[in-house]
Amino acid sequence: MLGLSAVVLMAGAVAVANTGGAAAPEYEAMQALEGEWAGSSKVYIAPGMPPESSGGKISSKMIGDFWLAEHATGQVFGKPFERFFVIGLDANSGGVTGSLVSSGDKASRPLQGSYDSRTSTWTLNHEMLDAGGSVIQARTTIQVDRRKGTKSLRTFHLLEEGFNTVVLDMQTSLRAER
């Protein structure tokens, strides 16, 4: 079951480069992700089954002007969990790119995605391990409300076009200003 931990606490480490000296919407949104966060999550193993609840701490820090690194720690299914996440803006595609490694997965997982400034939503497409240890396709959406000091994250298992199931629902609060 630790395989599922690859998504737990994936609370929004997204970063983008400041291109051309002007602050792009993605760059400003990335800065809002920086800080010390604490939260709780619900992991859904299968439809109809009660979720597994857990919590953790997340430390997100800018690396220069172009990258955001995030380190998350917590408990997943009663066992210690760690995750490290680094993401930035792909200058070639204009999208978000990065990598995720976690204590529950022996492989690093590439991340590709985008930021929608109209809805203030990050969307990341990636692989993850399911509860049985199989690699599945997933999508994570992240929204930050800096005024309220909250970050909301949902990860979906992409079953087929237009049909998804929730795997993780996480709500965090900012513990301290950056």
> Residue 160: which CATH number?
2.40.128.20
Q: By C-alpha distance, which of 106, 97, 113, 154 is closest to 129? A: 106
Asked whether the predicted pLDDT for residue 7 surpasses 60, the reply is no
Higher pLDDT: 77 or 133? It is 133
Domain with 162, as residue range(s), is 2-176
Distances from the Cα of 25 to the Cα of 16, 17, 120, 122, angstroms: 9, 10, 9, 11
Where does the pLDDT of residue 163 fall: very low under 50, low under 70, confident under 90, or very high at 90 and above? Answer: low
What is the CB neighbour count within 10 angstroms for residue 119? Answer: 10
User: Which residue carries 């990335």 as its tokens?
Assistant: 30
Cα dihedral across residues 133, 53, 115, 158: positive or negative: positive
Chain segment 66-107, per-residue pLDDT in tens? 888 989 888 777 888 888 889 888 878 878 999 988 887 888
C-beta of residue 109 within 8 angstroms of C-beta of residue 120:
no
- What's the rounded Cα separation, in Å, for the pair 42 and 125? 20
Quote the pTM value.
Answer: 0.78
- Please compute the mean of the pLDDT values over residues 17-45 and round it to a whole number: 75
Please give the tally of structural domains in the chain.
Answer: 1
